[in-house]
Structure 1
Amino acid sequence: MRDTGNGLAAKAKAKVLKEKEGSELPGVWVAYGKLLQHLRKRAGLSQQALGAAIGYSLEQVASVEQGRRPAKAAFTVAADPVLNAGGVLLVLQDDVDRAKLPQFFRNFALIEADVVSRFSYDPLLVPGLLQTERYARAVFAGHCPPFSEEVVDQHTEGRLSRQKLLTRVPMAELSFIVSEEALRDPVGGADVMREQWGQLLEVGSMRNVEVQIMPAGRGFHPGKNGPFVIAESQEHRHFGYFESQGVGCVVHDAADVSAFGLRCGKLRSQALNVGESARLIERLVGET
């Protein structure tokens, strides 16, 4: 039986979509996969044998080699010594993780990974660097239009991988101001928020991290115009960043970044200090 016109059109559309999906694979995933395949063959292992040696299925190894699935850190840590890779896979892992992030954020993620200082104001959500896994997953699962489960997993893993900045050596100076409204909004439910408050208290006790809360009812302040970040690079260049509705913008202009700095100073003076902020979070924990 010959295909009808609709059948041919559907096949053509499916082919275009498949080609589009393939073209959108992050280049570092494809490069990692090719390197993994080369190292595996050099070691004289089949995909199934490599999977068995590191605790992954044949299908998972094949997907990583084809660049269709990013390698998790645990995969890389296990595969590198089995393949006698000498750390070359480990070197790529940060880039693999960064490519799991939403595309609009990746440029700033490169800057963020190498900062000496970082300040942010977040009026709506707990900042990504401080989110628990369950909170981050709830944020991505609520995306509109909805993400697939695979994309939710990837974005969550990418966000959690950024949190290496909190404990990186040399340490970065990190300052977060979060609105009280964001802390009271039950993203993911009461259990998720209770865990999230605990994480804020734990991270806030680190000597290179400051967490301040902007209390509700303060009236107008510079943060009412939206969230933003100021970052200082190892070369002491300053950058701003802001995003909304899935669109992110890195700010390079010195005058604009300077204005961000003025707002930063004003917000830090108007927010609760670190001790007061910790006590407010503790009260939230006690209320549940």
Structure 2
Amino acid sequence: MGEVFLPGNHRYFGKQFMMWRQEAEMSREEVAEAVGYSAEMVRSVEQGRRACPPRMAEIADELFGARGKLKDGLSYLTREKYPARSRDFMQREAEAVAHSSYESTLIPGLLQTEAYARALLGGTWPPADDEVVERRLEVRMARQERLHRKPMLSFNFIIYEAALRCPMGGPEAHKGQLLHLIDAAKLPNVILQVLPFENAVSSALGGAMVLLEMPEYKRVAYVMGQSMSELADDPAEVNRLEQRFRRLSAQALSPNDTVRSIERMVETL
């Protein structure tokens, strides 16, 4: 994959940052030490590949003697809601009329509690800035409004048991997340199934996927990995993933048995 560049106003800001730095006769390494970020981060900001954190801009403005000119430039930057690799998917998800997903290691974003999501987003490596975590958390919580939209949309979630056993965020957050799943399973437009360990098939270990039904019956699929994700609209590929999803659904517990299984997990906490 090639380098990912942010919108033009970020690149313009980065150019201004570099010009102010050069006029102050400071190296990237010197700036990095002063602002508490790496020299590579400074380079990425100057090249428009990374958004400039407000704290970096504020400290650099004083370092460079920019008298507020650099710091004020932050207000003109476009803040992207989503990471570049998931932006196309989020746009398709917003237009979809039906959503089916399988998760092997995590609770689906649409079903995460705030405590679970905060622990997940705040535990990435390399670490994300607090501001980035809060922004992504806000967006993730806002996405969940789709579950309650009128007219109702259709949702079908399959979650591998491993995701339910992981106490993300600690014992209280874990218990709250399981109770939240029970509540979500009661929504009339939501089908929730758990794939237990004893029913696992090889495809259960192949990673997460989302299947979206778009208006006019077009279908797309989104497959997620550690650092790469793929949005597919080729009918043959989407059909292959739909068959895999149906296989997982057949091996998973029924919706009623799923709720009872999660209730038993809660009782043991």
TM-score > 0.5, shorter chain as reference: yes
For 2:112, the equivalent position in structure 1 comes to: 131
Q: Give the drift of 1:17.
A: 5.0
Q: State the one-letter code of the partner of 1:247.
A: M
Q: State the one-letter code of the partner of 2:75.
A: Q
For 2:188, the equivalent position in structure 1 comes to: 207
String of CA shifts for 1:251-276, please: whole Å, max 9, x gaps.
Answer: 11100000011111111111000000
For 1:103, the equivalent position in structure 2 comes to: 84
For the 8 Å contact 1:119–1:175, the answer to whether it is kept is yes
Q: State the one-letter code of the partner of 1:236.
A: Y
Q: State the one-letter code of the partner of 1:261.
A: E
String of CA shifts for 1:64-121, please: whole Å, max 9, x gaps.
Answer: 9814586xxxxxxxxxxxxxxxxxxxxxxxxxxxx32222111101111111111111
Aligned pairs for 1:56-135 within 5 A: 66-67=75-76, 99-135=80-116
Question: Equivalents in 2 of 1:110, 1:21: separation in Å?
Answer: 23
For the 8 Å contact 2:160–2:204, the answer to whether it is kept is no
1:184 corresponds to 2:165: yes
RMSD across aligned C-alpha pairs, in angstroms? 2.9
Question: Equivalents in 2 of 1:160, 1:138: separation in Å?
Answer: 14
For 1:8, the equivalent position in structure 2 comes to: 26
For 1:43, the equivalent position in structure 2 comes to: none
Question: Equivalents in 2 of 1:281, 1:122: separation in Å?
Answer: 16
String of CA shifts for 1:19-74, please: whole Å, max 9, x gaps.
Answer: 4469748xxxxxxxxxxxxxxxxxxxxxxxxxxxxxxxxxxxx989814586xxxx
For the 8 Å contact 1:129–1:163, the answer to whether it is kept is yes
For 1:146, the equivalent position in structure 2 comes to: 127
TM (norm. structure 2) is 0.74
For 2:229, the equivalent position in structure 1 comes to: 248
1:163 corresponds to 2:144: yes
1:271 corresponds to 2:252: yes
1:238 corresponds to 2:219: yes
Question: Equivalents in 2 of 1:239, 1:109: separation in Å?
Answer: 12
Mean Cα deviation higher: 174-183 or 223-232: 223-232
1:245 aligns to what SS in structure 2? coil
Mean Cα deviation higher: 165-174 or 119-128: 165-174
For the 8 Å contact 1:101–1:159, the answer to whether it is kept is no
1:66 aligns to what SS in structure 2? helix
For 1:284, the equivalent position in structure 2 comes to: 265
- Residues 205/24 of structure 1: CA separation in 2 closer, same or farther (3 Å cut): same
Q: State the one-letter code of the partner of 1:66.
A: S
Structure 2: any 5+ residue segments left out of the alignment?
1-24, 32-38, 53-70
Q: State the one-letter code of the partner of 2:173.
A: V
Identity of aligned residues (%): 32
Q: State the one-letter code of the partner of 2:26.
A: L
Question: Equivalents in 2 of 1:235, 1:172: separation in Å?
Answer: 15
Q: Give the drift of 1:160.
A: 1.1
- Count of residues paired in the alignment: 221
TM (norm. structure 1) is 0.70
Structure 1: any 5+ residue segments left out of the alignment?
1-6, 26-61, 71-98
Q: State the one-letter code of the partner of 1:9.
A: S
2:150 aligns to what SS in structure 1? coil
For 2:209, the equivalent position in structure 1 comes to: 228
For 1:194, the equivalent position in structure 2 comes to: 175
1:142 aligns to what SS in structure 2? coil
Q: State the one-letter code of the partner of 2:104.
A: P
For 1:175, the equivalent position in structure 2 comes to: 156
